[in-house]
Amino acid sequence: MVSGRMVRAAGILSVSTLISRILGLIREILFAGIFGANYVTDAFRVAYAIPYVLRRLLGEGAMSAYLVPVFTDIRAKEGDENAKIFAYTAYTTFSLVVFAIIAIGIAIAPLIVFVIAPGLKSNPEAFNLAVYLARLMLPYMFLMMTSAMSMGILNSYEHFFTPSLSPIVMNLAFIGAMLYLCPLLGGDISNQIVGLAYGVLIGGLLQVLVQVPAQFRFGIKFKPIFNFMHKGIKRMLLLMGPAMLVIGVVRINLLLDNIAASFLGEGVISILSYGERLLQFPLGIIGFAISTSSLPLLSRYFSDGKLDQMKRTLMEAFTLATVVCLPAMFGLFALGGPLVEVIFRHGAFTMGDAHATTSVLYAFSIGLFGFVGVQVLVPGFYAMHDTKTPVWGALSALVTNGTLNFALMPFFGAFGIALATSISAYVNALVIAMLLRRRIGRLGFREFTKKALRIALASIVMAVLVWLAYHWLITIIGYGLIEKIVGVVVCTGLGVALFLALSKLLGITEVNDIISRLFGRSPD
């Protein structure tokens, strides 16, 4: 039976993440319509990748891995005040480190751009624009770190709502920048896109400010405490090194993808980014929400010595992720093409761009279950203050992705690059699962597999019926944009209804259990 507290926490995060992802899609629609897929968009994607990689390593999810287990343990054993002193000390330490990284990054921006997109050097305009934009956006790292640390502490108090607003305000800042700042700057798109860089900085500031009221409610008032020898800092630093690689592996893999794509011609980096953004919609809702809500519980059970409850909670989280992930994955196969056309096929975004993005989306969708599996299982190690063991999964994924990029790109282009990333996600998840079983014993994967097969069957049947329904409906109502939007919306609703019905027919009781828990009712 799935924990009601975890489901409701995940529900709060899922709803807010859903809102954020919807705003993110609106952002991408505007971006594709205004800027298209060309050297300007490639330059922005490369420049934004620099602070974004650091966001993955020091941002919300990462800070939870480093901060939450240590903060929770100190709070449980030494009291709330000592935990806060540790948090303030950590904030001071990280602030100094991030300031140094920003200064170095601004100084060597050309070198960084060359390393992550060497193919861009063949186009001086694109390369110089990427360097300029990177220097503008690097200060976002400090705002991001401040926001992430606040999110981690508030999550430790099992307060999830306010931190979940952070990505929402970031997307609003992006949208506002495109609608107002970019046109205000005028000129061609290479000049207008600078407004988007300013939007990133504004968004980072809003991410910090939106959490201030909740911080005061819990008595959290960040203040400088210089004590680099604090035992909590030492424990946190021991967690950080290995965890950085584990958490950053998806982002590092995407950087490897960018390096490969930079040699495939103008616009390919942007095509990969558009496909990855669509994948992030279900990945963020499912993986981030469940892993974030489960980590405080897992950390508490481990601190209290309740290993059986910890194992049960971990498998409940994995089951919850599977119930949502598999239908989403097969749903993307059914409606991926129409989704790309509805979301991106406007303005400067051509039909050729749409076809290329659809191909990439299919390849990324194959890996969705692997990506989510890693996000849900790795917190099991973090709760035990072990960030070293998952490194083996991360290294396996990096080697797999790098090798397959080299092998598949010459034959399949951007599709091959995305497929390599998906395969590496499954390698990562498999290694993590095996290591977790070795560390804490049998988790119940055999019983889970039986459930997963039924969920997969329901998802496949649902996807086939949805694909048939969409193409039948479009032939009746027409092939215009509005008609396609109607088709996608109607068939998405149909897919949800079909999956619920098939779940009942196949005896997938977890679906009813999750719905009941989510709305605060006892399951039948």
d(CA 86, CA 70): 9
Strands, E assignment, 346-480: none
d(CA 367, CA 424): 8
For residue 449, being part of any structural domain is answered with no
pLDDT at residue 521, as a whole number: 47
Which residue do the tokens 């922005």 mark?
A: 44
Average pLDDT over residues 191-217: 90
DSSP per position, 104-141 = HHHHTHHHHHHHH-GGGGGSHHHHHHHHHHHHHHTTHH
DSSP 523: -
For residue 463, being part of any structural domain is answered with no
For residue 486, being part of any structural domain is answered with no
For residue 224, being part of any structural domain is answered with yes
pLDDT at residue 344, as a whole number: 81
For residue 207, being part of any structural domain is answered with yes
The answer to pTM > 0.75 is no
Q: How many domains does the chain have?
A: 1
d(CA 311, CA 297): 11
pLDDT at residue 60, as a whole number: 55
d(CA 377, CA 313): 11
Tens of pLDDT, residues 10-45? 556 667 777 877 888 788 888 888 888 788 888 898
φ, ψ of residue 211 in degrees (nearest 5) = -95, -10
Q: Which of 48-57, 125-134, 290-299 has the highest mean pLDDT?
A: 125-134
**More reliable by pLDDT, 515 or 324:** 324
For residue 258, being part of any structural domain is answered with yes
Tens of pLDDT, residues 398-452? 899 989 988 998 888 889 999 999 999 999 999 998 998 888 877 777 778 888 8
Angle at 200 between CA 194 and CA 203, to 5 degrees: 140
Structural domain of 399: 4-443
The SS3 assignment for 522 reads: coil
Find out whether 186 and 192 touch, Cβ atoms under 8 Å.
yes
DSSP 367: T
For residue 235, being part of any structural domain is answered with yes
For residue 524, being part of any structural domain is answered with no
**More reliable by pLDDT, 279 or 512:** 279
